Amino acid sequence: MTEEQRPEPDTRFSRASAHRLSQYLRCLGTEARSGGTVSSVELAGAVGVSAAQVRRDLAALGHLGQRGIGYDAAGLAQAIRHTLGIDRNWRAVIVGVGNLARALLRYQGFRNQGFLIVGLFDTDATKIGQIIEGLPVEPIAAIPERIPQLAPEIAVLTLPSEPAQCVADQLVAAGVRGLLNFAPVLLQTPSSVQVVNVDLAIQLEQLAYQVQLRHGHDSPDDAEDDSSDSDPDAP
């Protein structure tokens, strides 16, 4: 891909647009590896948006598509990775080494996408010193000293809500620039620090709302109540 085809460094996407780019990238996997092409209609069908929306999103990446042919999948994947900033490695640490953290550590997709976990921190004395997936668990108290040494740009918080803000403050002060927050609390950070909140309870609430919206408002209890109100003289 030539430099003229790449987006300018100051290109900005909304979070919704950036999210769609990530979805397009997931859809390109096989085609990108095989050197094939993909159309806006195919991407639209896979992601659940219109083909026009796909074309608008991808037009901001440069002149990548050809009318009647589509997009070169490998070139498009490269352009998306460049735009998302994942055409290089990102160093990250995890704070709070519970079951969720262990599952994240075992997920190979992070490394495949260029996210390298370089440090683990916890307050539990029984976990300090344990080796998990090749990394030692260190005390949270060591964050001010160890973060500059490990040089992560991102931290993943998988700890309870109570210590989350204090830990976030320490990470930011030590130089971390982005937080992926699984703690059920909204963190306060400087505008220069990016935070993505992953609250599974909120996601379930939103899913419940969408299911209710699509399939009506009756709950199973309502259905039972309705059946009891049927005509008593009916056979």
**Is the predicted pLDDT of residue 8 greater than 70, yes or no?**
no
Q: pTM surpassing 0.85?
A: no
Q: Taking residues 46-59, what's their average pLDDT?
A: 94
Residues shown for the chain: 235
Average of per-residue pLDDT values in the chain? 86
The span from the CA of 109 to the CA of 67, in Å, is: 33
Lowest mean pLDDT among 71-75, 128-132, 211-215: 211-215
- Compute φ and ψ for 194, nearest 5 degrees: -95, 135
The span from the CA of 8 to the CA of 65, in Å, is: 18
The predicted pLDDT at position 69 comes to 84
pLDDT: which is higher, 169 or 5:
169
Which tens digit of pLDDT belongs to each residue from 188-226? 999 999 999 998 888 899 999 989 988 865 555 554 444
Q: Name the CATH architecture for the domain at 90-200.
A: 3-Layer(aba) Sandwich (3.40)
The percentage of residues in the chain with a pLDDT greater than 90, rounded to a whole number, is: 64
* Domain range list for the chain: 3-84, 90-200
Class of domain 3-84: mainly alpha
The predicted pLDDT at position 235 comes to 41
Q: Which amino acid is at 57?
A: D
CB-based burial label for 15 (10 Å; 0-12, 13-18, 19+) = exposed
The predicted pLDDT at position 221 comes to 52
Q: Taking residues 124-141, what's their average pLDDT?
A: 96
For residues 155-190, b (16+ Cβ closer than 10 Å) or e, as one string? bbbbbeeebbbebbebbbebebebbbbbbebebebe
The predicted pLDDT at position 64 comes to 84
**Is the predicted pLDDT of residue 49 greater than 70, yes or no?**
yes
Q: Taking residues 181-186, what's their average pLDDT?
A: 93
Lowest mean pLDDT among 21-30, 47-56, 173-182, 211-220: 211-220
Residue 129 φ/ψ region, left for φ over 0, alpha for ψ in the -120 to 50 degree band, beta for the rest: left
Q: Taking residues 63-80, what's their average pLDDT?
A: 88
Which tens digit of pLDDT belongs to each residue from 82-106? 999 889 999 999 999 999 999 999 9
The predicted pLDDT at position 219 comes to 52
**What are the beta bridge partners of residue 90?**
115
